[in-house]
Amino acid sequence: MAETTLTHTSPLDRPQGLRGIAADWASDQRAFKNVSWGKAMMWIFLLSDTFIFGCFLLSYMTARMSTRVPWPNPSEVFALRIGGQEIPLILIAIMTFVLISSSGTMAMAVNFGYRRDRRKTAILMLLTAALGATFVGMQAFEWTKLITEGVRPWGNPWGAAQFGSCFFMITGFHGTHVTIGVIFLIIVARKVWRGDFDTGRPGFFTSRRGRYENVEIMGLYWHFVDLVWVFIFAFFYLW
């Protein structure tokens, strides 16, 4: 009779350093053990998006600090004439308030989602989408105003030519993220309202029952978009 020898691998025999990290991730021994793949992939996507926005903001700061031509004053460029007076950054302040408020409604939607309160979850997600659409609408108004005043990616009437390209690139990329978020908020809210997460109705995001975690995944994306706007607001409009 052949004897079967059982061998136990000592922790010291496992790969160390970067090879150990790669081994853990490949075999899923530690990474994401208590996190769903949907949430993990969203975190990885947000991490990659952070690098992109970071590169954009670093490029903006480099262009601004390296140019010898005076940089346009944001208080003058983004001012609105109301009642015969120029009010600096009033539109940007309202846009920021609207987007930050949408983070609150999204957080409440996630809370009610895990409580299985379909009606409140769907309503709060639609309210979040409405606030996001309002933000995009105000951003479109801002773009229209500046374009009619002569701002272009290759120049503007107030100073450094790089201002236009930086403005349209950074705010346009962020506005695209908000628009995509609004579309997916409406899609998920509709599925929540119909009860697709309770019945397991086959479809986009709803092939399994009880997947209210998708509401939280949408919340992660939306909070990221709001956080990025805080940095854009600080670096682009206040500096």
**What CATH number should be reported for the domain holding residue 49?**
1.20.120.80
For residue 207, what are the domain limits? 35-237
pLDDT at 48: 95
For residue 158, the 8-state DSSP code is T
Residue 114 is assigned to a structural domain of this protein: yes
Residue 23 falls within a domain, yes or no? Answer: no
pLDDT exceeds 60 at position 36: yes
Residues composing the chain: 239
Q: Considering the domain boundaries, does residue 9 fall inside one?
A: no
Predicted confidence at residue 207, as pLDDT, reads: 55
Looking at the predicted structure, is the pLDDT value of residue 29 above 60? no
In a domain, 97, yes or no: yes
Q: Is the pLDDT of residue 6 over 60?
A: no
Residue 72 lies in a domain: yes
Q: What per-residue confidence (pLDDT) applies to 82?
A: 83
Answer yes or no: is 15 within a domain: no
Split into its structural domains, the chain has a count of: 1
Q: Write out the DSSP string of 174-235.
A: HHHHHHHHHHHHHHHHHHHHHTHHHHT-SSTT-SSTT-THHHHHHHHHHHHHHHHHHHHIII
Per-residue confidence (pLDDT) for residue 1, from 0 to 100: 44
Residue 159 reports pLDDT greater than 90: no
Q: For 87-137, what is each residue's pLDDT tens digit?
A: 888 999 999 999 999 999 999 999 999 888 899 999 999 999 999 999 999
Identify whether 142 is part of a domain: yes
Residue 205 in this model has a pLDDT that exceeds 70: no
What mean pLDDT value characterizes the chain? 85
CB 180 within 8 A of CB 159: no
Quote the tokens at residue 194: 């119909």
Quote the pLDDT of residue 81. Answer: 84
Label the pairing between strands 80-82 and 85-87. antiparallel
pLDDT-based confidence at 4, cuts 50/70/90?
A: very low
Distances (CA, A) of 213 to 42, 197, 224: 12, 10, 17
Residue 17, domain member (yes or no): no
Q: Is the predicted pLDDT of residue 223 greater than 70, yes or no? A: yes
